[in-house]
Structure 1
């Protein structure tokens, strides 16, 4: 018998027991739908992570110094990261084009009847370029603001909308730590970076944050939370990282190798991608358990089918059918069951993913490779779990089969 005849007989056998065939395919369908959905979510998350890290800015590097304890303890023997360090980087590292020293604080912000605690960034004029922000309106902090320690503030898109939903924020006054600040500008929306909302920024001049908001002093100079900087181009990022680290070693001899932390956008993205890839594989592995259960269901139903069709098997063998013919017929039935169930599962998975992403903030990305792999794996499961029942059918003695009927 050729493959065409086997297919016709397999389809006829499956159609003869429609309900049983449908229930058998259900396990494979659920398994494939789960795998497609989990992989789509995982790949969508990876894509989102890449887009979010790109929003940090091109060729960006971040430098911090010491453990969290050292950064908070300004009386520590090891000097904290200083404004002098940022100035030294800008002056001595030729592969770095722009430098943005930053102080990160958290304090109470009030406007009329609104009161909440929010993150505050003390920054320099280069912050806008290095951090890849765009102004929506007004102006940004300038050198005069730094020199005079002006009480001016630039608001992120979300917090500006929160404070001034129906009015122009420029020229309005808010209070930070019971000090009055004038709003001079707002930033264009940028989105979230993992658990950090980049549109919830409150930015004040670096000197104002140090002298009027922080309330602490250091004998070494103005302590910073971190220094952000831009390399000249993508090719100079490794050399900039190397040169900055060597400079920090010279300027902070008490700092150990682990105390000098330098992160590049590419390194952060690679780390996040590895984490997301691992989570995607884990989710796909968990969802694949349903496929295993579906495969066992296929084997179970095929064994029942062999028992029910002993007369048919005996008659065909008595009429000259070879063991390979019987084996082929039952294998094709098993593969057909699994493949059809897999195809339906892929359709359900794609449809469910599209609906979920359209009605929620769920990020998904459907890959053609995962679709092809899911259907191929389904057929393979049918083949694997169909071998044993098919062999049982092929080995039946025709005389015993006919008598048992």
Structure 2
């Protein structure tokens, strides 16, 4: 009966991706984890409809277990453009193995030294592979990396897919056809990685990587801005979107290797905000020049989030002896002159906050709480206490869609909770 019908009425079923909506980089179209799609989602994921499984088998994104099983392939996030899904990963290849591991475990190919860097386009309605571009043996196997390999997600912009490979190559691929547009590299670290790979092939020993290749590229102005991924702190490298020509390389040590720069728009012009534990900088992407630089215990180190003219990030707290004693959430007003502190409050875990309806969603003082604070004052609006199933490992990476906040949950979580 009509009187019993509840909920929005759609003109047609929507079990596919709207081609007019995009998620073109790690943090979405706005760079702050907010979906612009207004299609309603199910309130209870247990009632969700299975739509498709990809035709292509994607590597597991896990590092070796005690039984040496699993295959990494990295753990980059997918992006969405023109109704389809794009993903970067790598696959071990070639015929040169680490001689100490060959034959052990049930996946001997995981000990290959060469790797293919792969970019794939998946049909958003069926899971069918539209195209798959493999850069044969141009990469290196990162299987032994303790966090499962590189986590650099691709960016889709103006019909081109951009991705950073396992040896520091930067690939640009036509999003429609899968054909290569250009190939470049990030410079110094790419040379080091390729030399390491040559040595690994000669000695038949895999390189043991530490945690890096975590910062993600962004498009700002008319350039692709990519980490240089030198050890510890990193320069930024900018590439011409159409040709791949290097437009500029910043001074060294201006970006945390695991951090992703943020984009700020002022009077129609785009700028880049990047930082370390000791420095925060506003960069003009047209030529790489510094608009302003702040030093000391300044904000912007990891996952800076821009919301209008507000910057939400972490602010280090120091003990009397100068050691880092913790991190607080810092909110700042951005201008061409610098940053003006609005408030600093609440514990900041290692996670990506989101700003929605002038509220900041962050981890709480116990790291297993979700705190909601007013963007303008820092006053706590609400708190969701951690539970047996929502613990300190959960409130890390946030995104918002259909007025719902999504976060990682452990395997014991049985129900959907709407945090908004």
Alignment TM class, shorter chain as reference:
under 0.3
Whose relative contact order is higher, 1 or 2, with alpha carbons under 8 Å and at least 6 apart?
1
Q: Could you tell me the TM-score, scaled by structure 1's length?
A: 0.19
> Which of the two has greater helix per residue?
1
Higher strand proportion (structure 1 or 2)? 2
